[in-house]
Amino acid sequence: MPWIGLREGRLHKKFDEDASEYIYGRRAQEQRELFDAHIWMHKAHVVMLAEQGSIPMGQAAEILGALKEIASEDVKLDPRLGDVYTNTERHLIGMIGEVAGAMHTGRSRNDLSATGARMLTRVKLEAVIEAALKLQRTLIAKAQAHLETIMPGYTHLQHAQPITFAHWAMAYSDFLAHDIQRLEDTLKRTNLNTLGAAALAGTGHRIDRHRTADLLGFDGILENSLQCVASRDYLLEAVFGLTLMMGTLNRIHEDIFIWTTDEFGMVELDDAFSGTSSIMPQKKNPLLQETVRGRTAHQIGRITAALTVFKDLPMGHNFDTYEANILLDDSVTELLESLRITDRVVDTLKINAKRMEENLGSAYITATELADVMVREAGIPFRAAHQIVGSLVRKAIAEGLKLSEVPLEMIKQITGDIRGTELDLTEESLRAATDPRTNVERRNSTGGPAPIEVERMAEDRQKKVENAEKRRTDRLTGYEKAHQRLEKAIDDLLN
């Protein structure tokens, strides 16, 4: 049986080997990953064609029988033939002859590649979501273990107000939750069937795109056939969402990087995740944190490249878009590695609670609460209280006093100088206002660092993680049930 190929009709030369390698070489890994999706699509399309009477039932049975036998290791991906589809079609023709070509009725490589990319993207995003949810659980567990561990909160990397380590961990858990939600939302526009759009104008054969959507586990169809082969907006969404998630990880590691320094000394990396020096034997270097920062630069480059791929593209199918597939694949690989290593770093991170609390006393971090107490207990407008406490801090610094050490008379004198009035504030109120732990406990408004509020948030977030895990399980179950429906339809047709 002579090979019935794509080039023999219009073209009279074999594809140049260098040209083939240039186009398809970098896509080799993607093509191997697409094999299972292609077999799934072939089966669903042939079942649908047979049900619609667009190909004879006998031909469909012969093709489906061959597709049930074929395995990825059976098909050698010859780059001179281009993509996985052409190589698979050649293999099938070698198995059952030219009848194998009937499976291409009513479709094109354009809609095949568009649909396969969507199927592969959903698998990749589900893997990232799984790893991100695991890191979320680790952050929540770390928070629950450190509800009472008070530490400085920072703005502009300067002491701002007291918080807890739990409050910090929960903040990053919530960042991750938003990152995950973005990917889940991207899945809504990813998981749409484009099979049946053919090259761009649909087909004159009888087809049922909703049927293939059901057999392939899609939530619906992307309707316009031209949009089907031209759109890769979901890839841009995915790469952008992954870039934001990488940014979240970068910030986690940047905080850890700073806090491991001798000047801060608030956390210590586990030895298994630390480096050392070839000359300075005392060093414990945060190499992972520096690497994440470097990898984040790569990811920012990918989103820039992905956006540029789609600049000035004419409507229709363009080979440029395959570059976005590679950018997505690299992004997913980067994120999965980074999520998994971050999870282990956070899980094993040693928290120096004593040093954290010591650091609170070295600055004037309770100044805001002192101003608030003056508002609540002395009836002074906040802006005036802000000025009084600011002046108090300046005087305390000049006299070498901590805020917790300033005498009540000093603040009363400053209040008189600024407002010309007496300050009705007790010694007890002053000392409570300048105590960091009291500061934290009083910040019990929604989302605040008070242990009772962070504990509530942690319990709430645990439930939300469980809900997100269930949504993911339901999606995976949906894909699997679609595959089972397909296999049943094949068995019914063959029997």
Question: Which residues form the catalytic set?
Answer: 156, 277
Contacts of 399 (CB under 8 A, 6+ apart): none
Q: What DSSP state is assigned to residue 161? A: E
Type of residue numbered 319: F
Separation between Cα atoms, residue 477 and residue 475, nearest integer Å: 5
Radius of gyration of the chain, Cα coordinates, nearest whole angstrom: 31
Evaluated on CA atoms 239, 241, 247, 249, the torsion sign reads negative
Cβ neighbourhood burial of 427 (10 Å; 0-12, 13-18, 19+) = exposed
Within a 10 A sphere around the Cβ of 491, how many other Cβ atoms?
A: 11
Contact 40, 216 (CB under 8 A): yes
Nearest to 68 by CA among 495, 493, 490: 490
Contacts of 269 (CB under 8 A, 6+ apart): 256, 260, 284, 286, 288, 345, 348, 349, 350
Ramachandran quadrant class, 207 (left: phi over 0; alpha: psi -120 to 50; beta: rest): beta
Contact 222, 50 (CB under 8 A): no
